[in-house]
Amino acid sequence: MKREKIILALLALTSFSAMSQQDPQYTQYMYNTTNINPAYAGSRESLSIFGIHRTQWLGLDGAPQTNTFSINTPISDSQVGLGVNFINDKLGVMDENTISIDFSYTLDLGRHYNKNKLSFGLKGSANILNVAYSKLLTYNPNDPRFAQDISGEFTPNIGAGVYWHNDRTYFGFSIPNFLETTRYDDNVQTTMRQSMHYYFIGGHVFDLNPTLKFKPAFLLKAVKGSPLHADITANFLIHDKFTLGVSYRWDAAWSALAGFQITDGLFIGYSYDSDIKALKNYNNGSHEIFLRFELFNKYRRVNSPRFF
């Protein structure tokens, strides 16, 4: 237990002192797209309600835990989509709450060309940060960097994205936060700096036979001061009900994914991550579980519903 606390303290202090603070990560990002790209809002042409819980590095005290709730919908028969996202992200003595509002506008590029659509999105967000430095065991109790807790630190931000898709293929590019903010800066030491994150996503659905679909997908994330982050996923949809897949986070983890379409509108999914680096010896993996509930889905009227 003592060794685990030491490891966690090092991870926490590293994240506090890093030049760029990483956004929360998800293995099943493909079901949580509005979190990173506001242009996705309303693109499923249904009222979509989504919730996900992620527990990372199970077995480490104070390891990251993330809870997300979102809702997005098209506005009547217009080309406008709206969405709301709420994220609670905890790591050690840090607790963040973020609420964001998404707006999208979609251009129909032609119904006779595989229903290509191009959407543009804007995101406005508000973040409230709490850091209980006083709960850390520090080598120097008088270190001014940890002398005062952060309580209710409010930071607004704006972001944007673009999303192109048809019935089989999608690509998206987004920057959820344009404003680079610094939560603590005494002209000597800078901590909790939020830098711009660049996201690029894509995927394509192949019909292997009448009852089996295959979807390879990827997510690339770039941020100043950090190496390129890449997630590569392969999912299979069986009888439009069961989803099975694997995912590889470059030089970080392997994941297994599963999902089940319980009813026409209710989908549940689960994933398990296994680290491939030294940290794997000190935790029991990471878990995600989510629910998606949809109403008024226009895609039920077609024979081949979208697999993203």
For 295-307, write each residue's pLDDT tens digit. 876 544 444 456 7
The helix (H) or strand (E) run that includes residue 80 is strand 80-91
Share of the chain above pLDDT 90, in %: 55
Q: How many residues does the chain have?
A: 308
| Torsion sign across C-alpha atoms 274, 280, 284, 290 | negative
Taking a C-beta distance cutoff of 8 angstroms, is the pair 40, 50 a contact? Answer: no
- Which range, of 50-54, 60-64, 241-245, averages the lowest pLDDT? 60-64
- DSSP type of residue 20: S
Into which CATH architecture does domain 1-7+35-295 fall?
Beta Barrel (2.40)
| pLDDT mean over 108-135 | 86
- If we measure between CA atoms, which residue out of 42, 55, 89, 44 comes closest to residue 69? 89
For 184-211, write each residue's pLDDT tens digit. 554 444 556 678 899 999 999 999 999 9
For the whole model, what pTM was predicted? Answer: 0.86
Residue 171 exposed, middle or buried by CB count within 10 Å (0-12, 13-18, 19+): middle
Q: Residue ranges per domain, the chain?
A: 1-7+35-295
pLDDT for res 277: 76
